[in-house]
Amino acid sequence: MKILLFSAASALALAATPAAAQMMTMPGMTMDHGQHRRAAKKPAIAKKTVVKKTVAKKTVAKKPSAASPAAPHAGHGVAMPATDDRSMPIGQGSMPMDHGSMPMGGGSMPMAVPGGPAQPAMPMDHGSMAGMDHGAMAGMHDMKAGLGPYSMNREASGTSWQPDTSNHMGVMAMAGGWHLMGMGVLNLVADTQGSRRGADKLFPSGMLMGMAQHPLGDGTLQFKAMLSPDPIMGKRGYPLLLASGETADGVTRLVDRQHPHDFFMELSASVSQNVGRKGSVFLYAGLPGEPAFGPPTFMHRESIMDSPEAPIAHHWLDSTHISFGVLTAGAVLGNAKVEVSRFNGREPDQHRWNIETGPLDSTAVRLSWNPTRELSLQGSWGHFKDPEQLEPGVDQERLSASAIYTRQIGPDLHWSTTLAWGRKTVEHHKDDAFVLESSVRKGEWTVFGRGEVTENSELLDTAEHGPSFRVGKVSLGAVRDVPVAEHVALGVGALASVNFLPADLAPLYGGRHPLGAMGFVRMKVN
């Protein structure tokens, strides 16, 4: 526990401090990045009011671009909301801001109006720009996707994709030519699950993430790390009706409980090289890492990332997000990506603090396509060698397909939804799962919900798979996040859920519609 608390405190301090050091706070001067993009076309207008009007008219008149949105100004250390089609594409002819060409010396900047007389020079308040690092500021404009020439907003967990309009949260910094990003979410959850098979528990959850990028040839070298406080909750995880999978003692399966995630959720490296203006090839390796199967894992999907509970369909869709040994090769062509993984198919054991090893004996293939900026599609197949610790020698085949739609639907109003399907085939027996989840965020408030149906053969207390039961669940919740410091917010939220059981299972639970609820407080650094 001391190791985790020290790691969490260090990660949070590092996430907030470097970005604050790189913040371009310039009293007396407001920098309009839209004006920088147009400086090469025509001189700026001296009168402040005229400049604003000219910029506004030009922005409205500009035709939408078909390319990906531009990277945000990472130096400001804020969340990266997706931009609209008027943004300049990343890595495809984007125009860097040459601060060296701006006369920032002791003189003033002459301004001229096209077609009109020269205007008086505009004095610059250089005293208010003390400590401004123009090299770092220019470099922060260039943070891009790690695997190809597209918006970094597209990249989610592992090598998976999400819509370009997704928000990409993180505190940004520069260090010796490296682009750095960090974020963290720590939850304290009070959980109560009704019925004869339910229980109550207070537990921590969350994740701490760090990423480092550096240009390499015509591509990017990238390192990622993700840690979890989940092992603190204990080997048996937390109560969650209708969830099943993995083990707490190496002997019995966890049923009606969600297992804790391992302390090391991802330690990965990737390298990419661009091929033309719209393509790339890449390699990804992780111990642990995430193979090319399924949609982004649930804690990274914007449609449900604010919920503290795992989906009961987790082991159909994205349970491979912690695989101890992954090697993935892929190619990007425009808005399509194909990738193949070899990985260790065995799910993590009951020892949650260590790093496991095993042969790369399983295979996954995934095809991803983003037909529009708001929509991301994927289909994947995987053969899993001996995945269950309690079922040695039993292989599985899995299929997955998903669609994620994310867009801004109004001023400060963001909506994201995911529809996903997964299938597990065990000894010629097929079990399906379906998930529909969505969130709407406005200002400090986020409302989220999820509905899911699974065919589960692990709900009876037997060593082997029993008959499959079709069960369902609906959850609805909300959270309010209030900023308490730069890059830090505290949130308070709650959710309620109702479960749907067939008549055959009702006697075990004491009814066909047992209820559950969670209340939580959280701290976010982003």
| Same-domain check for residues 124 and 163 | no
Query: Nearest-CA neighbor of 206 among 17, 16, 4?
Result: 4
How does DSSP assign 93-158, residue by residue? S-----GGGS--SSS-EEEE-TTSPEEEEEP--GGGGTT--HHHHHHHTT---SSSSS-GGGB-ST
Question: Residue 428 has what pLDDT?
Answer: 87
Query: Nearest-CA neighbor of 412 among 58, 79, 29?
Result: 79
Cβ–Cβ < 8 Å for 78, 93? no
Q: Is residue 1 part of a domain?
A: no
d(CA 301, CA 439): 10
Domain extent at residue 405 = 152-525
Question: Residue 276 has what pLDDT?
Answer: 93
| Same-domain check for residues 230 and 93 | no
How does DSSP assign 28-79, residue by residue? T----HHHHHHTTTSPPPSSHHHHHHHHHHHHHHSPPPSSPPPPP-GGG---
| Same-domain check for residues 85 and 214 | no
Q: Is residue 371 part of a domain?
A: yes
Q: At 168, is the secondary structure helix, strand, or coil?
A: strand
Q: Which residue has the tokens 């339910």?
A: 198
DSSP type of residue 412: T
Question: Residue 236 has what pLDDT?
Answer: 95
Query: Nearest-CA neighbor of 510 among 518, 519, 501, 523?
Result: 501
Q: Which residues contact 57 (CB under 8 A, 6 or more apart)?
A: none
d(CA 58, CA 35): 10
Query: What's the number of CA atoms in the CB half-sphere (13 Å) around residue 455?
Result: 13
CA 235 to each of CA 191, 221, 244, 258, 497: distance values in angstroms, whole numbers, following the listed order: 16, 36, 14, 10, 24
Q: What is the 3-state secondary structure (H, E, C) of 412-470?
A: CEEEEEEEEEEEEEECCEEEEEEEEEEEEEECCEEEEEEEEEEEECCCCCCCCCCCCEE
Dihedral through CA 445, CA 495, CA 322, CA 260, nearest 10?
130
Q: Is residue 199 part of a domain?
A: yes
| Same-domain check for residues 388 and 437 | yes
Q: Which residue has the tokens 């407080």?
A: 521
Q: Is residue 9 part of a domain?
A: no
Based on the structure, what is the number of domains in the chain? 2
Q: Is residue 138 part of a domain?
A: no
| Same-domain check for residues 330 and 407 | yes
The amino acid at residue 176 is G
Question: Residue 279 has what pLDDT?
Answer: 97
| Same-domain check for residues 320 and 415 | yes
Cβ–Cβ < 8 Å for 300, 167? no
Residue 462 φ/ψ, nearest 5 degrees = -130, 155
| Same-domain check for residues 278 and 306 | yes
| Same-domain check for residues 384 and 484 | yes
Q: Is residue 6 part of a domain?
A: no
Q: Is residue 426 part of a domain?
A: yes
Dihedral through CA 227, CA 229, CA 230, CA 233, nearest 10?
160
pLDDT truncated to tens, each residue of the chain (526 aa)?
444 344 444 444 444 444 333 433 433 334 444 444 434 444 444 444 433 444 344 444 444 444 343 333 433 444 444 444 433 443 343 444 444 444 344 344 444 444 444 444 444 444 444 333 444 444 444 568 999 999 999 999 999 999 999 987 889 999 999 999 999 999 999 999 999 999 999 999 999 999 999 999 999 999 999 999 999 999 999 999 999 989 998 888 999 999 999 999 999 999 999 999 999 999 999 999 999 999 999 999 999 999 999 999 999 998 899 999 999 999 999 999 999 999 999 999 999 999 999 999 999 999 999 999 999 999 999 999 999 888 899 999 999 999 999 999 988 899 999 999 999 999 889 999 999 999 999 999 999 999 999 999 999 876 566 789 999 999 999 999 999 999 999 999 999 999 999 999 999 999 999 999 999 999 999 8
Dihedral sign, Cα of residue 23, residue 24, residue 25, residue 31:
negative
| Same-domain check for residues 84 and 180 | no
Q: Is residue 367 part of a domain?
A: yes
302 burial level (CB within 10 Å; 0-12, 13-18, 19+): buried
| Same-domain check for residues 181 and 236 | yes
d(CA 449, CA 494): 11
Cβ–Cβ < 8 Å for 522, 495? no
DSSP type of residue 323: B
Question: Residue 463 has what pLDDT?
Answer: 56
Query: What's the number of CA atoms in the CB half-sphere (13 Å) around residue 91?
Result: 26
Cβ–Cβ < 8 Å for 272, 308? no
CB atoms within 10 A of CB 282: 23
| Same-domain check for residues 272 and 128 | no
Query: Nearest-CA neighbor of 89 among 154, 32, 134?
Result: 154
Question: Residue 466 has what pLDDT?
Answer: 74
| Same-domain check for residues 345 and 451 | yes
CATH label of the domain that carries residue 463: 2.40.160.10
Query: What's the number of CA atoms in the CB half-sphere (13 Å) around residue 504?
Result: 9
Question: Residue 304 has what pLDDT?
Answer: 96
Dihedral through CA 87, CA 89, CA 93, CA 98, nearest 10?
50
**What is the Cα Rg of the chain in Å?**
25
d(CA 28, CA 128): 6
Question: Residue 293 has what pLDDT?
Answer: 98
The amino acid at residue 507 is P
C-alpha angle with apex 418: 66 to 199, nearest 5 degrees?
155
pTM: predicted TM-score of the whole model, two decimal places: 0.74
Cβ–Cβ < 8 Å for 371, 377? yes
Bridging pattern class, strands 375-384 and 396-410: antiparallel
